[in-house]
Amino acid sequence: MVRSAVRSCGGEYKRREESGVARRDRSACRDERHRAAVAFPLEGALARAPRQFPGPDEHGKERLRRLDECLAVIQRAFPGVETGVRLCRLSCELLEGAWRERALGTDTTTYDDSCTCTLCAHLPKPLTRSLADYDWRRSDGQPLSVKTWPFRKELDSVLTGGWVWTRKMNDSDRDLGLRFRHQDDILVLHEYKRVEAAIEVSETARVVRQRLAEDRTTNGARALICGLYAAYKRSVDEYWLKQHVAGAVALPQETPLDKAAYTLLQLMDCLFWHVSPDAELWQEEHLAALVLCRVLNDMTDARADAVTGEASNFWLSAMSTHEKAMYGACVVALIKYGCMPEAHGLLWNTWLMGTTVVWEGLTGRHALWFDGITSGLPPLEGCLLCGIEPNACAGLLTAGVTLRAGCSPAVDRLGERAALLAARCREQHPQVWRMFERELAVFEALHGEWHGDVDIVWEILRRTYIAAVAAALAGGEGAREVQTDSGRVGAELFHTLHRPPTWKEDTALLAYMFGCAHPHFLWNAQGFAPTAVGGDWLDG
């Protein structure tokens, strides 16, 4: 069904990608010996259909019956959302089957760790962690609270703010004005259990009903469908975990999701949350960005999500280690692509990956600066991850993606504002300076001269990336403190960060430093060791 809806990547999109990569390569790589690239092909996620799962049990059938009633109401009111309604229904049925197969305990999946390719050789060894190491991830912890925005109180500067931020940046190009505030509230109500203590649920529900009646839009219908999916997912997850806790079933740590099933569930998880114009909803480059943003979330929240036993978790799936590594590499390649000016302006949702990785780095509840900080720094020379080339990954669902890793171009001389950042680092953190200056030079080869806000970006970087490098140099000591402070600086500067005129410049640089810069804290967060199903449940 999804394959029939996907529209192929446009020629202009591909030409922009190629011209951006060519411009970057002209910045350096003068030594012919470093031009040779290693290729890593990845088959399209939907080249094969997901395998069959068992049907739902009686409780599952009743959940699906109630879902059908709700979806029928939406479809009657909004005849243009048939595809979304059908995808929601099929996704929920897939979720039921995956949980049931897991509970039946037949053919327990084993991880395929046998790959010896160059990419898999760069996977980090899992750090030794216990459940107590993740008490910071509780959704009633800081900085997740009601924040005062410039014009009104918003629930969760982190959660809701991320959506608003991305839409503001996208709307600045083509001012489509997508998504009303009450439509975000539909999604927020289902995302965190904790919100019931933070907001007046009945009043919010009343406002949602009133505004839906006044603003009868397709985006409102999408928000309702996504709210139904979020509520359904929580109910089925809780049902099976309660069964596990009660001893009625014994859930293994692994889940039976193959690549296609994982991709479809994550696509549904994103498709209607991150609004786009109807004409672009099923563009393959848009869908790839949605899926890879979910992979990014799983990469940085890996252990914490894994101890909850969440069924659609990347690390617990039946995908091979190599496929997981390839997805992680695609995330890095797409972040690099999003740093290039050629990536923006053609599609509405082009800032989604950039804002997502910066949001991840500033939440305080994701493990980017915790699990990503390892002991010591790997060598810069010949680093495969530094050499991953920018790639829009448009064929992720269909024809597949071929990543290349070669040299890492850098400008010979930093622009004025990047040089000011480097000078501050040299003065305040001389042990990190040379690496930081090099990464700025690589970023400007990718992006062009940087024209951002030196004061805001320096305050964020010194408490995130630079602090993380210092912690790694200290043998990993202090990683938890860096991770905690990243949440504080995010809460302090979240609104200031995404204000014109420098917001796009600032977001691009932070996305690069959080997602692509050596020593690759994002990639380091891929180290995963399965533990028992348990922990803080599903509260976020």
Q: What is the mean pLDDT of residues 46-63?
A: 92
Alpha carbons within 13 A on the beta-carbon side of 377: 19
Q: What is the mean pLDDT of residues 154-159?
A: 50
Rounded distance between C-alpha atoms, residue 366 and residue 484, angstroms: 10
Rounded distance between C-alpha atoms, residue 170 and residue 348, angstroms: 6
What is the distance in angstroms between the CA of the first residue and the CA of the last residue of the chain? 30
Higher pLDDT, 532 or 313: 313
| HEC readout, 155-224 | EHHHHHHHHHHHHHHHHHHHCCCCCCHHHHHHHHHHHCCCHHHHCCHHHHHHHHHHHHHHCCCHHHHHHH
Question: How confident is the model over 180-189, as pLDDT tens digits?
Answer: 777 877 777 7
Q: Would the pLDDT of 477 be above 70?
A: yes
**Range scoring the smallest mean pLDDT among 103-107, 314-318, 370-374, 377-381:** 103-107
Rounded distance between C-alpha atoms, residue 110 and residue 67, angstroms: 33
Percent share of the chain, pLDDT over 70? 87
| Residue 12 amino acid letter | E
| Residue 382 amino acid letter | G
Rounded distance between C-alpha atoms, residue 14 and residue 470, angstroms: 39
Tokens 């959506």 — which residue?
163
The residue among 498, 527, 150 whose CA lies nearest residue 354 is: 498
Q: What is the mean pLDDT of residues 464-493?
A: 92
Q: What is the mean pLDDT of residues 12-19?
A: 86
Bridge-partner residues for 155, per DSSP? 146
Question: How confident is the model over 416-425, as pLDDT tens digits?
Answer: 999 999 999 9
Band the pLDDT of 540: cuts 50, 70, 90. Answer: very low
Vertex 374: Cα angle to 372 and 376 (nearest 5): 140
Length of the chain: 540
Higher pLDDT, 184 or 344: 344
Bridge-partner residues for 148, per DSSP? 153
Question: How confident is the model over 89-120, as pLDDT tens digits?
Answer: 999 999 999 999 999 876 655 666 778 899 99
Question: How confident is the model over 66-96, as pLDDT tens digits?
Answer: 999 999 999 998 888 888 899 899 999 999 9
- Neighbouring residues of 44: CB distance < 8 A, sequence distance ≥ 6: 395, 396, 397, 398, 399, 400, 401
Considering 12-26, 105-119, 380-394, 422-436, the range whose residues carry the highest mean pLDDT is 422-436
Rounded distance between C-alpha atoms, residue 128 and residue 319, angstroms: 23
